[in-house]
Every structure is written in C-alpha cells, then in structure tokens.
C-alpha cells in the first residue's frame, strides 16, 4: 500500500456502541473523531478514537439524509467484518 493514498495496513478495531455492545472490525482507514461509519446496517459517528478503541454515537437524522437512512442496527451475522467509512 502506498503511504500517500490515505490507506493503512489492515488493523483490528474495538467498536463500542451506545447500547454497550462491543464488537471487533477490520479497517484500512484512519477514523478521526467526527467521521461517519456504517456498521451493523446503520450509520454511526466516531466520538473518540484512542489506541484502536473507537467509541461511537448514533448518527443524526441529518446525517441519514445526506448519506442514506439511519436504521436500527442489525445483529452481527455473516456480513463483512470490514468497517465502511462514509466520506463527508
């Protein structure tokens, strides 16, 4: 991977959701505070990122209007374990 393309080596993240659930995901992107991500079929906003532990807040309805619906998260299943970053 080219260090100038904004992609990192795949790394594992610990995601902490507002409902108390904790899940592991793979990513190749840096997740700065405030960025939108899609996981469990819903949009989330990164509240904090410290030592590969990402704390998420629910995305607002305005975020959903710009980037797709804000839905009730689906349980972890056979879907990809990669975390999708929504570019703003």
pLDDT tens for the chain, 88 residues long, are 455 555 668 888 899 999 899 999 888 878 899 998 888 778 899 999 998 899 999 888 777 656 555 555 555 555 555 666 665 5
Q: How many residues does the chain have?
A: 88
pTM, two decimal places: 0.65
Backbone angles phi, psi at 23, to 5 degrees: -135, 160
pLDDT of residue 47: 95
Provide the number of structural domains found in the chain. Answer: 1
The residues facing 27 across adjacent strands are 11
Structure tokens at 66: 């710009």
Query: Residue 32: which domain range?
Result: 3-86
Q: Are 56 and 49 in contact (CB under 8 A)?
A: no
């Amino acid at each position: 991977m080219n260090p100038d393309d904004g992609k990192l080596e795949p790394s594992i993240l610990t995601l902490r959701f507002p409902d108390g659930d904790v899940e592991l995901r793979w990513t190749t992107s840096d997740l700065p505070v405030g960025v939108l991500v899609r996981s469990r079929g819903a949009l989330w906003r990164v509240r904090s990122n410290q030592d590969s532990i990402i704390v998420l807040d629910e995305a607002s309805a305005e975020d959903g209007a710009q980037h797709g619906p804000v839905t009730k998260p689906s349980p972890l299943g056979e879907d990809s374990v990669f975390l999708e970053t929504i570019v703003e």
